[in-house]
Amino acid sequence: MKKVIKFIVLAIIVGILASASFQVYQYIVSNYNKESDEDYLDKEDNDDAEDSLIDTSDKTIENNVSVIVDNVMPSIVAINATVEENVRDFFGREYSRESEGSGSGFIIGQNNEELLIVTNNHVIQDASNIEIVFNDGAKAKASLRGSNAVADIAVVCVSFDDLSEETRNHIKIATIGNSNNVQLGDLAIAIGNALGYGQSVTVGYVSAINREVEIEGRTMELMQTDAAINPGNSGGALLNTRGEVIGINTVKLISTEVEGIGYAIPISEVLELITTLINREEIEESNRAYLGIQTQDVTKMYSQGFNMPIGVFVAKVEKGSAADKAGLKVGDIITAVNSIPVESQIDLLEILNYIEAKTEGTITVSSLESGEYVERTLDIVFDGRK
């Protein structure tokens, strides 16, 4: 009996010691895990803080496109253009009829009298009437300030007298970005008057940079995006995650074999041209710039047949003329004047009509050297017309 009681007492003591040891172990482990969790949470907080110092604003905007759209939309406009065209009926009688097209644009600036809007040239080309529809629904008639068919850029203007005070207070000037800093995979937001139904938004990514695209016989270097660009989007803004304009939506590749390929003109490539179109003033004929050359067009057919750049071929240079002093030679092909693209004699004449005699400028030519055409830019002081 004594042995049984002794055994029971020992068992109780061993149980108490084991229980105490287990409680101590749990306490130690619990505190250790708690400290580890706190350290881990502190590390996560620090990592988040470091990330937020890097680019929180970009990530916030990127995840909330509606914020960009809400801020930018007052600078985007819809454009309705009316074109008169001559057609023949079944009996061969010719008559005139009006056709309407739609496009987009964005407000790039203003002066004391006018609001200035950028769009594609093909949106307003040959239009007899141009109507601008602002984000608040207000409409106003616009007039052409300047255009360049080669670059497919146009600037139209709206008089402030045709806008209500509410509309003047509502509209904004678009913020221009730097398309030279765009990288593949950057988020891209396209806003425009798709199909003429009113402003709409599509989102995608920059798919390619400096993509060579042939449009109506001429090659353009464009930015490619998979953001949907549909008829009516032309002339509208392609935006980055900061709401800055990085491109001008211009065309969509239509084919049963492809999907999601749209193109935009890089904004940095045409800013100088846009500035020229905005600031130019028509010069009196007696004071217009003169080169002193005889020319002929290098059309697409000649370009393909003889491997020549499209432009204006210099057939003769007058001795002592502005062209002669600048270094133009017979056989050179003029492709730009003052950085404005030239594809025909009509283009060249139109540019010279807005350049004053005795002013300085540049001529971009392609010269044949060792069997290949090499581009060079010449400084020139324009002559006056004789």
Asked if 144 and 201 sit in the same domain, the reply is no
328 vs 331: CA distance, rounded Å: 9
Could you tell me if residue 10 is inside a domain?
Answer: no
Could you tell me if residue 31 is inside a domain?
Answer: no
Could you tell me if residue 9 is inside a domain?
Answer: no
Asked if 185 and 166 sit in the same domain, the reply is no
The pLDDT, as a whole number, for residue 48 is: 42
Residue 227 has pLDDT above 90, yes or no: no
Q: What CATH number should be reported for the domain holding residue 153?
A: 2.40.10.10
Let me know: does 223 contact 208? Beta carbons within 8 Å. Answer: yes
Could you tell me if residue 49 is inside a domain?
Answer: no
- Of 170, 193, 221, the residue at which a domain comes to its end is 170
Asked if 208 and 143 sit in the same domain, the reply is no
Asked if 296 and 244 sit in the same domain, the reply is no
Asked if 102 and 137 sit in the same domain, the reply is yes
| Per annotation, catalytic residue among 75, 102, 147, 152 | 152
Could you tell me if residue 164 is inside a domain?
Answer: yes
Count of other CB atoms within 10 angstroms of residue 271: 15
| Per annotation, catalytic residue among 75, 104, 179, 234 | 234
118 vs 238: CA distance, rounded Å: 13
Active site residue 122: yes
Q: Which residue has the higher pLDDT, 333 or 56?
A: 333
Range of the domain at 201: 180-269
274 vs 368: CA distance, rounded Å: 31
Q: What CATH number should be reported for the domain holding residue 293?
A: 2.30.42.10
Asked if 370 and 298 sit in the same domain, the reply is yes
Could you tell me if residue 311 is inside a domain?
Answer: yes
For the chain, give the number of residues: 386
Asked if 289 and 366 sit in the same domain, the reply is yes
Query: Per residue in 346-366, pLDDT tens?
Result: 999 989 989 999 999 999 999
What do you get for the CA distance between the two ends of the chain, in Å?
141
Q: Report the percent of the chain where pLDDT is more than 70.
A: 78
Least confident of 72-76, 138-142, 247-251, 377-381: 247-251
The pLDDT, as a whole number, for residue 28 is: 45
Active site residue 162: no
- Of 114, 148, 170, the residue at which a domain comes to its end is 170
Mean predicted lDDT score pLDDT of the chain: 81
β-sheet bridge partners, residue 360: 381
Could you tell me if residue 123 is inside a domain?
Answer: yes
The pLDDT, as a whole number, for residue 200 is: 84
Residue 300 has pLDDT above 50, yes or no: yes
The pLDDT, as a whole number, for residue 210 is: 86
365 vs 169: CA distance, rounded Å: 46
Residue 295 has pLDDT above 60, yes or no: yes
User: Which range, 22-36, 40-54, 279-293, has the best average confidence (pLDDT)?
Assistant: 279-293
Asked if 166 and 186 sit in the same domain, the reply is no
Mean pLDDT within 205-223: 82
Asked if 294 and 371 sit in the same domain, the reply is yes
Token reading at 311 = 């432009």
Asked if 298 and 379 sit in the same domain, the reply is yes
Into how many domains does the chain fold? Answer: 3
pLDDT category, 10, cuts 50, 70, 90? low
Active site residue 152: yes
Mean pLDDT within 113-134: 93
User: CB within 8 A of 126, min separation 6: which ones?
Assistant: 83
| Per annotation, catalytic residue among 104, 122, 179, 344 | 122
Using DSSP's 3-state secondary structure scheme, residue 180 falls into helix
Asked if 142 and 191 sit in the same domain, the reply is no
Asked if 338 and 256 sit in the same domain, the reply is no
- Of 170, 205, 240, the residue at which a domain comes to its end is 170
